[in-house]
Amino acid sequence: MPGAPYNMQSANCCKGGVLTSMTQDVTKYGATFLMNYQKSSISFPDGGNFSMPEKFTLGIPGYSCAMPVQVPPTRFTNDGRRWQQVLETWNVTCIYSQFLASPAPKCCVSLSAFYNTTIVPCRTCSCNCQGLPGANCANSDGSSLLELRQRAQGTKSPAPVVQCTNHMCPIRVHWHVKQSYKEYWRVKITITNLNFVRNYSHWNLVVLHPNLRNITQVFSFNYESLPSYGNLNDTGMFWGLQYYNDMLLAHGDNGNVQTELLLHKDQGDFTFRGGWAFPRKISFDGDACVMPLPDEYPRLPNTASIAATRPFIVFISVLLLLVILF
């Protein structure tokens, strides 16, 4: 626990107050601590008279914990050589709910593609609307920005102060279909922190897309395919490289991280039509991001209209040639 002397800390404790997901780092997704429970009126040589505490909480918004459940006694080791078995083991399961953590989403997605000049922005009021309660925003050149950052430094979990935008989200994820090759296609992902008062350490991004089963190379990010059902393999997790971009800094010149993906074209499924090249779902740090509406996705040029104009162009050319000859 915080403040405990070094010689009284248990193995695998603390982690600096930050736990990663199991996918990101198997050595940092769990933490342990010891608590001495003393009561002079009880004696439990067999553990039978021990009264298990109740009403567990994590103290983190969005988490709710169930009642303790007794399971078979577990073993532990302090030195890695000698194992000891405990008298009793209880499990407390806590689950996370995005709706309990925040009444509004925390991220949104924008889209673009090389075959269309339109950039589809985040949906208006994805996370909040300017002028509504709780909508704290500022401009990058605002005179009060420095004061807001100084005030947030003394707060453990400062309220987000985001850049004033039409969507008011702290995090924006941009998916850009960058290029198409004969057998491959390339995507660029940019994660931008629009929160002036918070860094995101050990961030992660989960993407749902059917072509992730054919992902060939990922640049600048770590990637791991997540467990799937049956033959499905359409979900993967991205996170930053240690000491390079695993910290998403507060909004500013360095407040973004980027990667590019190279994916093999599955001839049975691949197409640029109907928005197929864009993700079905994106989550940042466990929170689902607001996606654009499907009918707003960048579309391929209308080849039918182009083809329809060609006879007209040929006809005008022939007509001009006849006029010149006669």
Average pLDDT in the 213-237 region?
89
Percent of the chain residues past pLDDT 70, beyond the cut: 77
Q: Looking at the domain assignment, is residue 203 inside a domain? A: yes
Q: Looking at the domain assignment, is residue 16 inside a domain? A: no
Average pLDDT in the 5-16 region?
68
User: Containing H/E element for 173?
Assistant: strand 171-180
Instruction: Note the pLDDT of residue 316.
Output: 43
pLDDT over 70 (residue 13) = yes
Instruction: Note the pLDDT of residue 308.
Output: 34
3-state DSSP assignment of residue 215: strand
Distances (CA, A) of 309 to 89, 287, 306, 315: 76, 47, 5, 10
Instruction: Note the pLDDT of residue 20.
Output: 78
Instruction: Note the pLDDT of residue 19.
Output: 78
Q: Looking at the domain assignment, is residue 235 inside a domain? A: yes
Q: Looking at the domain assignment, is residue 65 inside a domain? A: no
Average pLDDT in the 301-316 region?
46
Q: pLDDT higher for 262 or 304?
A: 262
Q: pLDDT higher for 263 or 148?
A: 263
Average pLDDT in the 80-96 region?
85
Instruction: Note the pLDDT of residue 307.
Output: 38
pLDDT tens digit sequence for 58-72: 878 888 999 999 999
Q: Tell me which residue range forms the domain holding 147.
A: 105-302
**Mean predicted lDDT score pLDDT of the chain:** 82
Q: Looking at the domain assignment, is residue 14 inside a domain? A: no
**Model confidence band, residue 135 (pLDDT cutoffs 50, 70, 90):** confident
**Core vs surface per residue 258-283: b (16+ CB within 10 A) or e:** ebbbbbbbeeeebebeebebbbeebb
Percent of the chain residues past pLDDT 90, beyond the cut: 47
Measured CA to CA, the distance from residue 164 to residue 138 in angstroms comes to 6
Instruction: Note the pLDDT of residue 256.
Output: 97
Q: Looking at the domain assignment, is residue 325 inside a domain? A: no
**Model confidence band, residue 305 (pLDDT cutoffs 50, 70, 90):** very low
CATH code (residue 269): 2.60.40.290
Tell me how many domains the chain contains. 1
pLDDT tens digit sequence for 140-160: 765 566 666 666 565 666 678
The Cα diameter of the chain in Å comes to 119
Instruction: Note the pLDDT of residue 80.
Output: 67
Q: Looking at the domain assignment, is residue 117 inside a domain? A: yes
Measured CA to CA, the distance from residue 172 to residue 193 in angstroms comes to 7
Q: Looking at the domain assignment, is residue 198 inside a domain? A: yes
pLDDT tens digit sequence for 71-86: 998 887 766 678 888 8
**Model confidence band, residue 309 (pLDDT cutoffs 50, 70, 90):** very low
pLDDT over 60 (residue 215) = yes
Instruction: Note the pLDDT of residue 315.
Output: 42
